[in-house]
Amino acid sequence: MKKNSLTTNIILIGMMGSGKTTVGQLLSSYLNFTFIDTDQLIEKQQEMSVDDIFNQKGESYFRKLESNIIPNLPKTQAVISCGGGLPVYNDNSLKLNDLGITLYLKANEQSVLKRISTQSGRPLFSSKKEDISNLISKREEVYNKAKYIVNTNDKSPDEVMDGILKILF
Ligand code: S3P
């Protein structure tokens, strides 16, 4: 398949710190697709940071917002990077599979820890390795519903993107 014959959305799911946003941006410019990050979309819509939404309105409110934006996402030619918990609720993983080619960017707890320790504003983030491990094990079953699984451990964003392009073309 040629690069410009792809019209389907590319949907990235996985844990926070798995590189969805960085890889998504690279991929969208390579493919000349629109880039959507669901966290950024919600922040714009609500005029509040994800952190503030969690703190002031609670997690379940945020999860409703995440579910509610799915029908409004583009239907073609977008790379969509989903918040780590988005696929986990309300059968969202199935809805995402209907919306495009889903890829699970798989990262183990060491990689997640390494990547998120330099970032702030992650309400669910606990720096305890065992908490991250537990979250990964809880979510893995849902993440595994993605069409493809891409290992991101010890890989640079460019290497992850190359892996994705090999899958797609
Ligand atoms: C979350 C991941 C975050 C954000 C929120 C909750 C999660 O997105 O949606 O902090 O539950 O894993 P990223 O995966 O883009 O960091």
Return the pLDDT at 119. Answer: 66
Tell whether ligand 1 has an atom less than 6 A from the beta carbon of residue 39: yes
Looking up tokens 């504003």, which residue turns up? 121
Return the pLDDT at 3. Answer: 74
Higher pLDDT, 5 or 75: 75
Return the pLDDT at 117. Answer: 75
pLDDT tens-place string over residues 75-86: 999 999 999 999
Name the average pLDDT for the chain. 93
Q: State the pTM of this model.
A: 0.95
Q: State the distance from the centre of ligand 1 to the C-alpha of 120, rounded, in angstroms.
A: 11
Q: Which residues neighbour 46 within 8 Å (Cβ) at sequence distance 6 or greater?
A: 53, 65
Average pLDDT over residues 95-111: 97
Average pLDDT over residues 133-139: 95
Phi and psi, residue 61, nearest 5°: -60, -45
122 Cα nearest atom in ligand 1: 10
Structural domains in the chain, sorted by start: 3-168 (3.40.50.300)
> DSSP for 21-37?
HHHHHHHHHHHT-EEEE
Report how far residue 146's alpha carbon sits from residue 55's, in angstroms, rounded to the nearest whole number. Answer: 30
